[in-house]
């Protein structure tokens, strides 16, 4: 782990400072970090950032200008009351938006940024109290609670939080927040304070949002554009600035003219499957082509097969929701944020 005090980083010294920091502990991300700062302090005000492609449609590149990134960073700095000299942790890949935005927050806010190799077991390196960190759920699942307690506020994003992790967070003194956003919005535009028991995401200052009759979310993110951005998210608004996430429209299964929500079904199956298997198993519901129905519901489960599962499922799903096939796969493929790469697993 290295510490970079961005209060003292300037255009005329950043190369020397970074080279000295990495002189005895050169890490794979050194060149990526240096390349980003070359752009930041150079004449190029346009940044090309790639997405992971984990939500379908494949990886793509998005273009943002420097001021958009600064404005987005300021929203987060304000929300978490971060000030110059506060300590932040960068434990996410710098190649993608989440990691790059941690760098931008440090640059804009003059933060002390502690940088570790992004992995799920970086916690052993943590020996310093930290004011703010952004992580993915996978990095928290097997973390030492004592190490987690080094951090005052933790922002969780990149993938949904499962019930087991939520239970784990309930017994911690750390302040946990779940973010809601997408690559196109330059990180989050809504937040859920898990430590306060919040069930809904609350829009950040200046963000406008609404939902169609079908529940499709559209947002206007002021640091990106004055235009409305239609998302693939299915939501229900509980207040003018608060909504509950109900999954993605592209995941909806149309089987024989009846629409099935994998998100709703998975939610009802989580506890019964945990009880049935005696452990948490990753699983998801999807569809496969079927001549008479158009699509058929399929349940895909990670790990070894176990008989008797169908009886459990029928107790918790409607007849039209019940999977026609149950498929066991030895090991799922995951993105760096912990999302199941469904297109590569199907």
3-state secondary structure the chain: CEEEECCCCCCCCHHHHHHHHCCCCCCCCHHHHHHHHHHHHCCCCEEEEECCCCCCCCCCEEEEEHHHHHHHHHHHHHHCCCCCCCEEEECCCCCEHHHHHHHHHHHHHCCEEEECCCCCCHHHHCCCCEEEEEECHHHHHCCCHHHHCCEEEEEECCCCCCHHHHHHHHCCCCEEEEEEEEHHHCEEEEEEEHHHCCCCEEECCCCEEEECCCCEEEEECCCCCCCCEEEEEEEEEEECCEEEEEEEHHHCEEECCEEECHHHHHHHHHHHHHHHHCCCCCEEEEEEEECCCEEEEEEEEECCCCCCHHHHHHCCCCCCCCCCEEEEECCCCECCCCCECHHHHC
Can you give the pLDDT at residue 277? Answer: 93
Give me the mean pLDDT over the 193-198 stretch: 92
> Taking the model in full, what pTM does it have?
0.87
Look at phi and psi of residue 173 and say left if phi exceeds 0, alpha if psi is from -120 to 50, else beta. Answer: alpha
Q: Please report how the helices 97-109 and 30-41 are oriented relative to each other, as an axis angle in degrees rounded to 10.
A: 60
Confidence of residue 170 (pLDDT cuts 50, 70, 90): confident
By percentage, how much of the chain surpasses pLDDT 70?
96
Q: Are 64 and 47 in contact (CB under 8 A)?
A: yes
By percentage, how much of the chain surpasses pLDDT 90?
68
Confidence of residue 247 (pLDDT cuts 50, 70, 90): very high
Q: Are 115 and 2 in contact (CB under 8 A)?
A: yes
Which one is the CATH code of 2-202: 1.10.510.10, 3.40.50.2300, 3.30.530.20, 3.40.50.12780? 3.40.50.12780
**Cα 162 to Cα 270: distance, rounded to the nearest angstrom:** 9
Confidence of residue 147 (pLDDT cuts 50, 70, 90): very high
The partner residues of 300 in beta bridges, in order of sequence, read 284, 327
Can you give the pLDDT at residue 253? Answer: 96
Look at phi and psi of residue 24 and say left if phi exceeds 0, alpha if psi is from -120 to 50, else beta. Answer: alpha
- Residue at token pair 């928290």: 140
pLDDT at 317 over 90: yes
pLDDT at 167 over 60: yes
Can you give the pLDDT at residue 72? Answer: 96
What are 76-130's pLDDT values in tens digits?
999 999 999 999 999 998 888 999 999 999 999 999 999 998 888 899 989 899 9
Give buried/exposed letters for 276-297 (b at 16+ CB in 10 A, else e): bbeeebbbbbbbeeeeebebbb
Q: What residue spans in the chain does CATH classification 3.30.300.30 cover? A: 252-345
**Cα 206 to Cα 325: distance, rounded to the nearest angstrom:** 46
Can you give the pLDDT at residue 319? Answer: 94
**Cα 9 to Cα 5: distance, rounded to the nearest angstrom:** 7
16-30, 39-53, 199-213, 290-304: lowest mean pLDDT where? Answer: 16-30
Q: What residue spans in the chain does CATH classification 3.40.50.12780 cover? A: 2-202
Which one is the CATH code of 252-345: 3.20.20.70, 3.30.300.30, 3.40.50.10800, 1.20.200.10? 3.30.300.30
pLDDT at 54 over 70: no
């Amino acid at each position: 782990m290295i510490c970079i005090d961005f209060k003292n980083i300037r255009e005329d010294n950043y190369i020397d400072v970074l080279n000295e920091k990495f002189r005895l502990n050169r890490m794979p991300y050194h060149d990526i970090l240096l390349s980003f700062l070359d752009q930041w302090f150079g004449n190029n005000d346009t940044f090309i950032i790639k997405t992971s492609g984990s939500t379908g449609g494949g990886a793509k590149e998005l273009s943002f200008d420097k001021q958009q990134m600064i404005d987005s960073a300021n929203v987060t700095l304000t929300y978490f009351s971060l000030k110059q000299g506060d300590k932040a942790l960068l434990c996410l890949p710098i190649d993608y938006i989440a990691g790059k935005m941690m760098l931008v927050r440090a640059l804009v806010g003059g933060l002390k940024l502690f940088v570790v190799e992004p992995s799920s077991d970086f916690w052993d390196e943590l020996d310093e109290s930290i004011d703010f960190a952004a992580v993915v759920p996978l990095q928290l699942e097997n973390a030492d609670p004592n190490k987690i307690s080094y951090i005052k506020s933790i922002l969780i994003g990149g993938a949904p939080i499962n019930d087991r992790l939520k239970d784990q967070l309930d017994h911690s003194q750390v302040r946990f927040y779940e973010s809601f956003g997408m690559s196109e919005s330059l990180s989050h535009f809504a937040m859920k304070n898990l430590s306060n028991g919040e069930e809904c995401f609350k829009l950040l200052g200046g963000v406008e949002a609404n939902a169609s009759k079908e529940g499709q979310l559209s947002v206007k993110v002021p640091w990106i554009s004055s235009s409305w951005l239609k998302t693939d998210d299915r939501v229900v608004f509980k207040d003018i600035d608060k909504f509950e996430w109900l999954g993605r429209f592209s995941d909806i299964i149309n089987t024989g003219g009846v629409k099935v929500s994998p998100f709703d079904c998975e939610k009802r199956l989580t506890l019964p499957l945990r009880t049935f298997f005696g452990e948490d198993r990753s699983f998801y519901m999807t569809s496969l082509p079927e001549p008479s129905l158009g699509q058929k519901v399929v349940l895909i489960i990670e790990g070894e097969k176990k008989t008797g599962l169908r009886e459990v499922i029928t107790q918790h799903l409607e007849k039209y929701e019940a999977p026609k096939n149950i498929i066991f796969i030895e090991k799922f493929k995951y993105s760096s944020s912990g999302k199941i790469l469904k297109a590569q697993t199907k």
